[in-house]
Amino acid sequence: MTDLRDIAMASKAWPFEEARRLLKRYPNGKADGAAIIFECGYGPSGLPHIGTFNEVLRTTMVRNAFGTLSDAPTRLIEFSDDMDGLRKVPDNVPNQAMLTEHLGKPLSRIPDPFGKFESFAAHNNAMLRDFLDQFGFDYEFISSSSQYESGAFDAALKNVLRNYQAIMDIMLPTLRKERAATYSPILPISEKTGIVLQVPVEVVDAEAGLIRFDDGGDLVTQSILGGKAKLQWKVDWAMRWVALGVDYEMYGKDLTDSGVQSGKIARVLGGRPPESLIYEMFLDEKGEKISKSKGNGLALEDWLKYGTENSVAFYAFREPKSAKQLHLGVVPKAVDEYFQFRAQWHGQPIEKRLGNPVHHIHNGQVPSGQPPVTFGLLLNLVGVMGAGATEEQVWAYLGNYADNVSPENAPELAELIPIALAYNRDFVAPTLQKRKPEGVEVAALQTLDARLAELPADATAEDIQNIVYEIGKEGGFENLRDWFKALYETLLGSSAGPRMGSFIALYGIANSRQLIAEALA
């Protein structure tokens, strides 16, 4: 462990860089052996999505990296801000008229529109826990409502009242004039309507937790303790960091300003802001920021329909501080790159392993073995088989390529086949369009057909690739790229494709000759 720890201390992989900042913060661990606290936040007005997954995954990677560097105990808290008032009714839930009647109330005090849980927040919190449990994350769930209503935050709320003016001095310069006129760090919950109020407040007694405010024309003195109020977002975030002792929390670039203001407030409250990584946002295929309201993003369930869980983890790991496009076009490459990096890991020295994405995906316990074909090659196979191809037919073709391959002895391949069929059916097949060969392409294809006819049925992919290569060199093409492009466009109907030797071996020589015959007809 000492050797691994020494090497990890020098690793440039971003989880280790993040972990070293935490180690600098606590070189000997926390006092009395207390746990280092990692936190992720969740707004339960909607269902968990790919951003939720990425944040918990990346935080877990930093937590695991810290565990390599230190023996200090750690905890990961997933915090749900379910005391937030419902601002608008989501489009994708039932009983919208009922929800409209409860606008402005805390999510934890609004009936569940699905009729399954005691509140709307409880429903979404349950979905969050199911979601995180599906991927095996190690976390502790804490809800805002449980902390406020149980009194767990009472001491922290009194501390906010004691420092009320200092917090106002931080926040007011950041607000527009009209917003500043009514701003308060405290959001009392009306005892008349149950609504989270956005009104100015006066601190009556900080030690007793009492404030005074106007509630629909009535001047009310009310406690903020025991769930009778909540805090504005940036103040709430800071209070939570201090109350829970949060040491690390990453967040998106869109919250950069919030993080700055919350950090200042945390210091006013006598705490220290957590270490943080500010990650870039995902973009759609047009390079525009992904928005749930626009519907221009890629949902996690969509990725998992057309790719693997390890592939989305691989994609999330890469360069979190750089904006990346997130659309279905990136999925196949991520699937294959995951396996490529996994194959490399097993032959790498430890220094290289620690920088390999799969080391962090699997926390150093990287599986061995590879599927006998790439996902890209599978997509080319099912592409020529057509949108109606079945798993049984794919397995039959795979028998041409690999001996005794079956779902039992190739479980990862068995996972790839149905998603390749789905991806091809939904996205590839409708776009495939073969063209007729022209010029030197005609003679080159005729030569390829003749050379394939001379080969035994079990010729290796390498033997076939050598023939394809020779024809391209001797066939009058300006460069080999033009020959391979012609093969893809005339035989497969796409502008790019696989290593043709591997494809022909997989599809079968006889079937490949039939493709050539159809192209030349």
4-150 shares its CATH topology with 433-520: no
CB atoms within 10 A of CB 487: 26
pLDDT digits (tens, 9 = 90+) for 324-337: 888 899 999 999 99
pLDDT at 297: 65
Across 47-56, 180-189, 296-305, which has the greatest mean pLDDT? Answer: 180-189
SS3 annotation, 138-155: CCEEEEHHHHHHHCCCHH
Name the burial class of residue 218, with classes exposed (0-12), middle (13-18) and buried (19+) by CB atoms within 10 angstroms of its CB: exposed
pLDDT digits (tens, 9 = 90+) for 352-384: 999 999 999 999 999 999 999 999 999 999 999
| 292 known member of a binding site | yes
The contacts of residue 408 (CB under 8 Å, 6+ apart) are none
pLDDT at 49: 77
Domain layout of the chain by residue ranges: 4-150, 174-230, 292-362, 433-520
pLDDT at 413 over 70: yes
pLDDT at 295: 57
The whole-chain average pLDDT of the chain stands at: 94
* Tokens read off for 370: 């590879």
pLDDT at 38: 98
Mean pLDDT of 207-219: 97
pLDDT at 155: 98
Backbone conformation region of residue 298, classed left if phi is above 0, alpha if psi is from -120 to 50, else beta: beta
HSE-CB of 208 using CA atoms within 13 angstroms: 9
| Fold type of domain 433-520 | Arc Repressor Mutant, subunit A (1.10.10)
pLDDT at 291: 61
pLDDT at 147 over 60: yes
Q: Which CATH superfamily is domain 4-150 in?
A: HUPs (3.40.50.620)
pLDDT at 22 over 70: yes
pLDDT band at 2 (very low <50, low <70, confident <90, very high): low
Q: What percent of the chain has pLDDT over 70?
A: 98
**β-bridge pairing 210-215 and 201-205:** antiparallel
Q: How far is CA 439 from the centre of its chain?
A: 48
pLDDT band at 71 (very low <50, low <70, confident <90, very high): very high
pLDDT band at 400 (very low <50, low <70, confident <90, very high): confident
Mean pLDDT of 381-398: 93
pLDDT band at 292 (very low <50, low <70, confident <90, very high): low
pTM of the predicted protein model: 0.92
pLDDT digits (tens, 9 = 90+) for 78-108: 999 999 999 999 888 899 999 999 999 999 9
pLDDT at 192: 96
pLDDT at 300 over 90: no
pLDDT at 294: 58
pLDDT at 216 over 60: yes
* Tokens read off for 252: 């998106």
pLDDT at 285: 79
pLDDT digits (tens, 9 = 90+) for 474-507: 989 999 999 999 999 999 999 888 999 999 999 9
